[in-house]
């Protein structure tokens, strides 16, 4: 008998437990805060106004001198004679800076300043070209000239770029008069001396100075003193300039000296560029003047009784900032201050000399 095979139940393989997949708990991600750097306030640099200059930037008054500027062949001899003059004047306190006398008061006037006629106080002056230039001068009422016999005065009108200058100015019952002077238009483009281009009909003989160099040229201005820097050449007057000749940029002369080593009007001096001024410990004003003399030079503008520089006459301001313990002279006499100026280091630049020819005003 056939016995059927015994069927074995299938072997059940163990089923692994189903692992419950628990999703990870998602933690909320905090939002990323955008960090914005603080905006730095941009402060523009403070622009310091450039110093004001009368005349063109290329004028001899305003042009810095190169260290290599050629010297005149007579430099040593002429400067030697000049230093002997300085040595003679120093003990007598005759070195000077003209401020409230024989200097230059500047009346700066606005565009709408009423005009007046200034008469040329000379016979038959109606035909002079200078009289036409003085027909409408924006002269302020009560304007006063500098004290002293020259009685100079300058009117400056920035809006029209014109100036007028007067010599021997006075106010009379018939109105303002002056014996001579000049007028300039386009002052900002002028070379700083009078010529046929200064004004319609002008001549090189115009001007209140004996050299026809404008009297505001080389003037130590109140603005210079306030800024603490003189950024132009200095004007100087000397006793007995050379007779019969003048040096460019002068246009004429009233020199009287026959000495060949005397300085002619228009001569341009400078302090030796190799001189270290910081070692001299000069008074503040003299330091400013020496720096200007080294960089721009000193120009002989006129004849005078003694060696003198020119600083702006403060009369129109109603004050005198030169005097007093806190004034620009630091409580000292200017004659004493100038004894410390390094006169012996002056050099004479190469001169272009011209013979004085007879000339007439007009």
The string of pLDDT tens digits covering residues 187-220 is 999 999 999 999 999 999 999 999 999 999 999 9
On whether the CB atoms of residues 327 and 320 are closer than 8 A, the answer is yes
3-state secondary structure of 288: helix
- Confirm whether 333 is domain-assigned: yes
For residue 300, being part of any structural domain is answered with yes
Q: Is-contact 61 233, C-beta < 8 A?
A: yes
Phi, psi angles (nearest 5°) of residue 188: -65, -15
Q: Quick check: is 230 in a domain?
A: yes
Rounded alpha-carbon distances, angstroms, from residue 236 to 21, 215, 339: 106, 11, 15
Rounded to an integer, what distance in angstroms lies between the CA atom of residue 150 and that of residue 305? 13
Mean of the per-residue pLDDT values for the chain?
89
Q: Please report whether residue 2 resides in a domain.
A: no
Within-domain flag for 360: no
pLDDT at 18 over 70: no
Is the pLDDT score of 47 beyond 70? no
pLDDT in tens, 223-254: 999 999 999 999 999 999 999 999 999 999 99
Q: Tens digits of per-residue pLDDT, 156-175?
A: 999 999 999 999 999 999 99
Edge to edge, what strands does the sheet with 180-185 contain? Answer: 180-185, 162-167, 153-157, 104-108, 312-313
**Would residue 332 count as lying in a domain?**
yes
Is 37 a domain residue? no
Alpha-carbon gap, residue 249 to 145, rounded angstroms: 26
Q: 6: phi > 0 → left, psi -120 to 50 → alpha, else beta; which?
A: beta
- How far is 289 from 151, CA to CA, in rounded Å? 25
pLDDT at 299: 98
* Domain ranges, residue 165: 75-355
Structure tokens at 127: 């035909």
Tens digits of residue pLDDT in 306-350: 999 999 999 999 999 999 888 999 888 888 899 999 999 999 999
CB 307 within 8 A of CB 94: yes
Between residues 5 and 175, the one the model is more confident about = 175
Residue 261 belongs to a domain: yes
Rg for the chain (alpha carbons), in Å? 39
Specify the number of domains making up the chain: 1
Across the range 66-75, mean pLDDT stands at 98
- pLDDT at residue 222, as a whole number: 96
- The pLDDT assigned to 359 comes to 44
Per-residue pLDDT, 124: 82
């Amino acid at each position: 008998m056939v016995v059927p095979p015994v069927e074995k139940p299938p072997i059940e393989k163990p089923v692994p437990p189903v692992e419950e997949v628990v999703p990870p708990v998602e933690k909320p991600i905090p939002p990323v805060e955008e960090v914005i750097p603080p905006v730095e306030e941009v402060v523009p640099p403070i622009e310091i106004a450039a110093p004001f200059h009368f005349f063109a930037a290329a004028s001899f008054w305003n042009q810095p001198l190169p260290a290599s500027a050629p010297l005149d062949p007579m430099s040593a001899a002429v400067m030697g004679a000049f230093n002997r003059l300085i040595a003679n004047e120093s003990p007598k306190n005759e070195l000077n800076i003209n401020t409230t006398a024989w200097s230059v008061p500047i009346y700066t006037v606005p565009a709408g300043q009423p005009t007046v006629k200034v008469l040329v106080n000379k016979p038959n002056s109606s035909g002079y070209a200078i009289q036409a230039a003085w027909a409408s001068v924006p002269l302020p009422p009560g304007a006063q000239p500098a004290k002293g016999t020259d009685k100079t005065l300058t009117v400056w009108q920035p809006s029209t770029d014109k100036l007028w200058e007067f010599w021997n100015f006075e106010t009379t019952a018939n109105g303002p008069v002056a014996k001579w002077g000049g007028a300039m238009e386009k002052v900002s483009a002028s070379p700083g001396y009078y010529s046929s281009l200064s004004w319609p009909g002008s001549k090189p003989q115009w001007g209140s100075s004996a050299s026809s160099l404008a009297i505001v040229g080389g003037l130590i201005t109140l603005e210079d003193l306030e800024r603490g820097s003189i950024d132009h050449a200095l004007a100087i007057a000397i006793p007995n300039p050379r007779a019969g000749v003048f040096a460019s940029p002068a246009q004429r002369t009233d020199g009287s000296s026959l000495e060949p080593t005397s300085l002619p009007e228009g001569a341009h001096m400078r302090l030796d560029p190799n001189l270290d001024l910081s070692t001299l410990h000069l008074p503040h004003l003299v330091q400013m003047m020496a720096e200007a003399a080294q960089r721009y030079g000193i120009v002989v503008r006129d004849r005078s009784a003694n060696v003198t520089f020119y600083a702006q006459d403060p009369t129109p301001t109603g004050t005198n900032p030169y005097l007093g313990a806190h004034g620009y002279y630091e409580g000292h006499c200017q004659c004493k201050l100038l004894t410390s100026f390094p006169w012996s280091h002056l050099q004479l630049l190469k001169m272009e000399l011209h013979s004085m020819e007879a000339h007439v005003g007009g």
